[in-house]
């Protein structure tokens, strides 16, 4: 059996940074299990020795929301993600999974439960659906026969889609629990999140897009085992430079294979839909649920546009920190909290007797969560993942070919519903400037629902309407919103700063701290210039 010793390494054990001896430990692996965690030198080293100098050892990461790309589990593991929780795949796609040594472990719902014609028919149809409570038992039993580890139920009524009623949700959850399955619920609204929780769902597969009330936050925190944030869905929209965020990420972008980079470059010019959403509401919901004690879990919903299996989970961790979680809390959402929420009792932590799913990274992601993406090597059940040869491999080609077919299917369906416009035919976002001095007030952005007025930084000022009404909102409210207090989070900082904006440009702003500060410190009244792409700015919630 494989013997392995990590020497003098920092350890995030799934819950906290292990104190060790001056912050260092030895981790001993025997076969597919962790044998022991000791202070350096307390146990003789055995087998392969891996130096931990300047590095941190993590439990193998768990992506709590994916849709399986056949052939992707090797690449996923190479990026440090050793378990993926699939939230809707057809049995034919699951049959193409590249399972085995050196691949991420797969846990699936198989086909999710949705109403006839409901979401996600465009992508995966035809597939079995649920017409009412009487279908629940047969539907769940069919998923168990397909090897499902959990049940997915879909409550999605946007765009006029049919969705499951309360009685059907209750019946599905009751049968799933009777068969020993947890239930993950797809929701997009606060009302559906509460419906799912009251119906017996265990986990939300997304944080809602509209604001949760205090009462709703309390009820969800009291009923659920966790919420999968999927904040990385916002990586589907390009930066002002026209590049998708993952490709622009200084740590992760260089790790893309040429084929996946080419795909992201193509996706950056798509029109599906054209306008970026306001991410402040969802991030606010995530922080509110976290503060209420509900475990926030890391999941990507890959392979949606802008997302790459495995690699995008590190972007999700960064977005959780941007939302207000500490780096350790974000990491727990992809390790111990993820394992606890989904009943994966043999992983998610580094401790004696647990699976030796391990990730070694440069730096210390408990201080700078971006270091989670600086993967040196991954071990799945004690076996080192061979990351060589992924680019251009048969597995990669098979996955990208599958994704091309699925994308064509979805785009054709959306175009038939009038929700996709070809880029050459579509109007683009338009800046709104003050007539007197040309200062940028905001912009209006076309979406399938109408024109959305936005601040300079992309936060929506109102719902969609016609072009003239949206511009009027920007002229009326754009500058006043910028005059309010804002929260500034700098690269590598855990806590945001309260600031006011003195001068605003699309790529940089001049700002100063809100005075007086808590410690009474004064600053330069002229403020300081910061590059927008190096910080996070969002309205202060007061």
Residue 354 has pLDDT above 90, yes or no: yes
What φ, ψ does residue 311 adopt, rounded to 5°?
-65, -35
Residues comprising the chain, all counted: 542
CB 490 within 8 A of CB 537: no
Q: Model confidence at 162, in pLDDT bands (50, 70, 90)?
A: very high
Q: Model confidence at 103, in pLDDT bands (50, 70, 90)?
A: very high
CB 197 within 8 A of CB 224: yes
- Please state, rounded to an integer, the average pLDDT across all residues of the chain: 89
Residue 332 CA, distance from chain mean position: 14
What φ, ψ does residue 151 adopt, rounded to 5°?
-110, 135
Packing angle between helix 280-291 and helix 214-223, nearest 10 degrees?
60
58-411 folds as TIM Barrel (3.20.20)
Helix or strand (DSSP H, E) at 489: strand 486-490
SS3 at position 252: coil
The larger pLDDT score, comparing residue 7 to residue 465, is at 7
Please state the three-class secondary structure of 357-399 as a single string: CEEEEECCCCCCHHHHHCEEEEEECCEECCCCCCCCCHHHHHH
% of the chain exceeding 70 in pLDDT: 89
SS3 at position 460: strand
CB 296 within 8 A of CB 329: yes
Whole-number pLDDT of residue 533:
67
Residue 271 has pLDDT above 60, yes or no: no
Max avg pLDDT among 306-310, 411-415, 529-533: 306-310
Whole-number pLDDT of residue 132:
97
DSSP class of 73: H
CB 75 within 8 A of CB 388: no
Residue 197 has pLDDT above 50, yes or no: yes
Average pLDDT over residues 206-232: 97
SS3 at position 524: coil
Q: Please report, in angstroms and rounded to a whole number, the separation of the first and last CA atoms in the chain.
A: 58
The larger pLDDT score, comparing residue 514 to residue 143, is at 143
> Closest Cα to residue 232, out of 384, 65, 84, 359?
65
pTM: 0.80
CA distance 386 to 75: 10
Q: Please report, for the chain, the start and end positions of each structural domain, with discontinuous segments joined by +.
A: 58-411, 427-483, 486-539
DSSP class of 347: S
């Amino acid at each position: 059996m494989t013997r392995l010793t990590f020497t003098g390494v920092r350890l995030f054990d799934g819950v906290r940074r292990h104190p060790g001896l001056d912050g260092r430990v030895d981790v001993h692996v025997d076969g597919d299990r962790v044998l022991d965690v000791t202070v350096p030198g307390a146990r003789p080293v055995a087998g392969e020795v891996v130096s931990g100098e300047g590095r941190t050892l993590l439990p193998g990461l768990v992506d709590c929301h994916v849709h399986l790309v056949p052939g992707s589990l090797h690449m996923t593991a190479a990026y440090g993600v050793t378990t993926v929780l699939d939230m809707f795949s057809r049995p034919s796609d699951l049959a193409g999974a590249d399972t085995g040594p050196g691949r991420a472990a797969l846990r699936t719902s198989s086909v999710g439960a949705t109403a006839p014609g409901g979401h996600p028919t465009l992508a995966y149809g035809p597939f079995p659906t649920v017409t009412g409570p009487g279908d629940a038992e047969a539907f769940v039993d069919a998923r168990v026969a397909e090897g499902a580890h959990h049940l997915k139920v879909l409550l999605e009524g946007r765009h006029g889609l049919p969705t499951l009623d309360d009685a059907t949700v209750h019946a599905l959850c009751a049968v799933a629990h009777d068969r020993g399955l947890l239930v993950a619920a797809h929701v997009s609204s606060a009302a559906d999140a509460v419906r799912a929780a009251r119906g017996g769902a265990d986990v939300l597969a997304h944080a809602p897009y509209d604001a949760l009330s205090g009462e709703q936050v309390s009820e969800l925190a009291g009923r659920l085992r966790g919420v999968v944030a999927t904040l990385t869905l916002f990586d589907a929209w390009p930066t002002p430079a026209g590049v998708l965020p993952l490709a622009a990420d200084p740590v992760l972008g260089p790790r893309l294979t040429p084929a996946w980079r080419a795909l992201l470059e193509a996706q950056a010019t798509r029109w599906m839909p054209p306008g970026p959403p306001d991410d402040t509401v969802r991030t606010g919901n995530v922080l509110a649920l976290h503060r209420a004690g509900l475990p926030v879990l890391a999941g990507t919903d890959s392979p949606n546009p802008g997302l790459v299996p495995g690699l995008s989970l590190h972007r999700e961790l960064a977005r959780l920190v941007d939302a207000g979680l500490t780096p350790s809390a974000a990491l727990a959402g992809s390790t111990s909290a993820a394992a606890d929420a989904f009943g994966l009792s043999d992983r998610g932590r580094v401790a004696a007797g647990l699976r030796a799913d391990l990730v070694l990274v440069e730096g210390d992601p408990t201080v700078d969560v971006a270091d989670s993406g600086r993967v040196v090597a991954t071990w799945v059940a004690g076996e080192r993942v061979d990351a060589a040869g992924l680019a251009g491999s048969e597995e990669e080609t098979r996955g990208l070919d599958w994704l091309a077919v699925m994308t064509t299917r979805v785009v054709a369906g959306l175009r038939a519903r009038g929700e996709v416009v070809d880029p050459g035919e579509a109007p683009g976002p338009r800046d709104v400037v003050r007539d007197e001095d040309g200062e940028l007030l905001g912009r209006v952005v076309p979406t399938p629902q109408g024109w959305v007025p936005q601040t300079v930084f992309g936060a929506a000022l109102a719902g969609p309407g016609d072009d003239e009404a949206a511009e009027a909102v920007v002229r009326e409210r754009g500058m006043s919103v910028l005059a309010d207090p804002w929260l500034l989070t700098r690269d590598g900082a855990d806590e945001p700063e309260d600031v006011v904006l003195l001068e605003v440009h699309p790529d940089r702003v001049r700002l100063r701290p809100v005075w007086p500060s808590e410690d009474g410190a004064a600053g330069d009244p002229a403020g300081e210039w910061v590059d927008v792409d190096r910080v996070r700015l969002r309205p202060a919630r007061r």
